[in-house]
């Protein structure tokens, strides 16, 4: 079993934090997405979408997409449950994780990919107005999360879940995207201090 990743990228980091919460250690292979490693034939054969992370099982099965990889390990080791428990709990975690992933994380990623000069060779074409427009989307998503966290200790409810992992990674990704920290959102910052202090956050 092997995870192919670019360690500093947001989606591989989601898997790293998830596995740290589970106490699972998996060998890693580093690929540098900035230098074209993901376009090489050997990696494209594993994942034609040329994205990391990828989990390669002992039988050669390749599982890509960070949430799919996390679901695999949740099935192998259900405790602690990071996808919720019970029908309602699992649905709520799924709902909130999708909201954060398609909302905040996608908006931050769009700012980074369309405005950062070092991404010009990977995001073709870079669309500057789209990057700028997503700055407003980031703020709107943070406002929604702040309202949610005024009534809930964690993103999806009373327990830490993959939704918190996705949100943590999204907020940390704001720094390389050159976005200001969400200091004006008191509930987000209360939550962020708690989840960033977990040992898994620095795994």
Domains along the chain with CATH numbers: 2-76 (3.40.30.10), 86-202 (1.20.1050.10)
Q: Where are the alpha helices (DSSP H) in the chain?
A: 10-22, 41-46, 66-76, 86-100, 106-115, 128-149, 162-173, 186-196
pTM for the full predicted model: 0.97
Q: Kindly state the tokens that stand for 65.
A: 């997409």
HEC-encoded secondary structure of 130-172: HHHHHHHHHHHHHHHHHHHHCCCCECCECCCCHHHHHHHHHHH
Residue 152 vs residues 115, 141, 191, 199: alpha-carbon distances, Å: 34, 16, 9, 22
9 pLDDT band (50/70/90 cuts)? very high
Phi, psi of 5 (to 5 degrees): -150, 165
- 142-191 residue pLDDT tens: 999 999 999 999 999 999 999 999 999 999 999 999 999 999 999 999 99
Measured between alpha carbons, how far is 84 from 88 in angstroms, rounded to an integer?
8
113 pLDDT band (50/70/90 cuts)? very high
For residue 63, what pLDDT is reported? 98
Peptide bond into 63 cis (omega under 30): no
C-beta atoms surrounding 160 within 10 Å: 20
What end-to-end distance do the CA atoms of the chain give, in Å? 19
């Amino acid at each position: 079993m092997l995870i192919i990743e670019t360690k500093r990228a947001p989606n591989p980091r989601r898997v790293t934090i998830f596995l740290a919460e589970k106490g699972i250690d998996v060998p890693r292979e580093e690929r540098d997405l900035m230098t074209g490693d993901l376009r090489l034939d050997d990696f494209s054969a594993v994942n034609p979408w040329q994205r990391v992370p990828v989990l390669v099982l002992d039988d050669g099965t390749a599982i890509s997409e960070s949430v799919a990889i996390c679901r695999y390990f949740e099935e192998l080791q259900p405790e602690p449950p990071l996808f919720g428990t019970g029908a309602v709990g699992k649905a709520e975690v799924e709902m909130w994780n999708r909201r954060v992933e398609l909302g905040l994380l996608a908006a931050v990623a769009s700012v980074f990919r369309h405005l950062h000069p070092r991404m010009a060779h990977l995001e073709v074409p870079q669309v500057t107005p789209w990057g700028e427009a997503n700055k407003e989307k980031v703020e709107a998503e943070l406002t929604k999360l702040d309202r949610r966290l005024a009534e809930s200790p964690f993103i999806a409810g009373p327990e830490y879940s993959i939704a918190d992992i996705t949100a943590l990674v999204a907020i940390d990704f704001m720094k390389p995207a050159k976005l200001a920290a969400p200091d004006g959102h008191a509930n987000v910052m209360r939550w962020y201090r708690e989840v960033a202090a977990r040992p898994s956050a620095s795994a």
